[in-house]
Chains A and B, each alone.
Chain A
Amino acid sequence: MSQAPLLTLDEVSKTYPGGGLVSRRPPVQAVKEVSFDIAPGETLALVGESGCGKSTIGRMILSLTGITEGRITYAGKNLANHSEPERRELHKRLQMIFQDPFGSLNPRKTVRSILSQPFLVAGEKDCESRVIDLLRMVGMTPPERFLDRMPHEFSGGQKQRIAIARAFALGPELIVADECVSALDVSVRAQILKLMRRLQQETKVSYLFISHDLGVVRSMAQRVAVMYLGRIVEIGTVEDIFTRPSHPYTQALLAASPLPDPKRAHLKGRLLLEGDLPSPSKPPKGCRFHTRCSFARPDCSSAEPVLKKHGSPQLVACHYADTLDPALPELAH
Chain B
Amino acid sequence: MPKDVSQNGPILEVEGLHTILRTTEGVVRAVTDVSISVGRGEIVGIVGESGCGKSMTALSIMGLVPSPPGEVTEGRILLDSADLRSMSQSAFQKVRGRRIAMIFQDPMTYLNPVLTIGTQIDEMLRQHTGQNRKQREARILDLLRKVKIPDPERVAAAYPHQLSGGMRQRVLIATAISCEPELIIADEPTTALDVTVQAQVLELLKEIIHDIGSSLVLITHDLGVVAETCDRVYVMYAGRVIEEAPMQTLFENPQHPYTQGLLASILRVDQPVEELYVLDGTVPNLTAPPSGCAFRDRCEVAMDICRDQLPIPIATGPCAFAACWRIPQ
A residues whose Cβ falls under 8 Å from a Cβ of B: 49-50, 155, 157, 185-191, 193-194, 197, 212-216, 218-219, 238-239, 242, 252-262, 264-265, 268-269, 272-274, 276-277, 331-333
Contacts and interface: CB of A to CB of B under 8 A. Distances in A.
Interface of B: 49-50, 164, 166-167, 194-200, 203, 221-228, 247-248, 251-252, 261-263, 265-273, 276-280, 282
Contacts of A155: 282
A238 B252 CA distance: 28
Given A190-B265, A215-B268, A219-B276, A265 B228 contact: yes
Contacts of A260: 223-224, 226-227, 251, 263, 266, 268
A256 B276 contact: no
A25 B197 CA distance: 26
B282 A157 contact: yes
A215 B267 contact: yes
B273 to A, nearest CB: 4
A268 B227 CA distance: 12
Contacts of A214: 195, 269
Given A213-B267, A218-B268, 9 more contacts: A190-B276, A190-B278, A194-B278, A212-B194, A214-B195, A218-B272, A259-B269, A259-B270, A262-B227
Contacts of B251: 260-262
**Closest 7 A/B residue pairs (Cβ):** A258-B224, A215-B267, A49-B194, A219-B273, A185-B49, A187-B279, A256-B199
Contacts of A238: 272
Given A186-B266, A215-B267, A273-B200, A194 B195 contact: no
Contact of A277 (B194, B203, B221): B194
Given A253-B196, A261-B227, A215 B266 contact: yes
A73 to B, nearest CB: 31
B196 A273 contact: yes
Given A215-B269, A331-B269, A185 B199 contact: no
Contact of B262 (A49, A186, A215, A259): A186
Given A190-B265, A191-B280, A260-B251, A252 B273 contact: no
Contacts of A193: 267, 276
A212 B195 contact: yes
A57 to B, nearest CB: 18
Nearest to B251: A262
Contacts of B272: 218, 238-239, 242
A252 B280 CA distance: 34
A214 B269 CA distance: 6
B265 A186 contact: yes
B152 to A, nearest CB: 15
A256 B195 contact: yes
Contacts of B269: 214-215, 218, 242, 254, 257, 259, 331
Given A186-B49, A190-B278, A218-B267, A258 B194 contact: no
Given A49-B195, A215-B266, A276-B164, A258 B225 contact: yes
**Interface hub of B196, B200, B248, B276 (most chain A Cβ within 10 A):** B196
B48 to A, nearest CB: 9
12 contacts: A49-B197, A187-B261, A187-B265, A187-B279, A215-B269, A253-B195, A258-B225, A259-B224, A259-B270, A260-B223, A262-B252, A277-B194
Nearest to B220: A258
A284 B278 CA distance: 43
B194 A50 contact: yes
B267 A256 contact: no
Contacts of B167: 276
Contacts of A268: 228
Given A191-B280, A219-B276, A259 B268 contact: yes
B276 A262 contact: no
B2 to A, nearest CB: 24
B222 A333 contact: no
Contacts of B276: 190, 193-194, 197, 219
A215 B262 CA distance: 14
Contacts of B221: 185-186
A258 B223 CA distance: 8
A294 to B, nearest CB: 12
Nearest to A328: B270
Contacts of B282: 155, 157, 188
A262 B49 contact: no
Given A258-B224, A262-B247, A265-B227, A272 B199 contact: yes
A107 B166 CA distance: 33
A261 to B, nearest CB: 6
A45 to B, nearest CB: 12
Nearest to B164: A276
Contact of B50 (A185, A212, A265, A331): A185
Contacts of A216: 267
**Interface hub of B268, B277, B280 (most chain A Cβ within 10 A):** B268
A269 B204 CA distance: 12
B194 A187 contact: no
Contacts of B265: 186-187, 189-190
A33 B205 CA distance: 39
A277 B196 CA distance: 9
A142 B283 CA distance: 20
A186 B223 CA distance: 10
Contact of B196 (A187, A215, A252, A333): A252
Contacts of A265: 224, 227-228
Contacts of B50: 185
B53 to A, nearest CB: 14
A259 B195 CA distance: 12
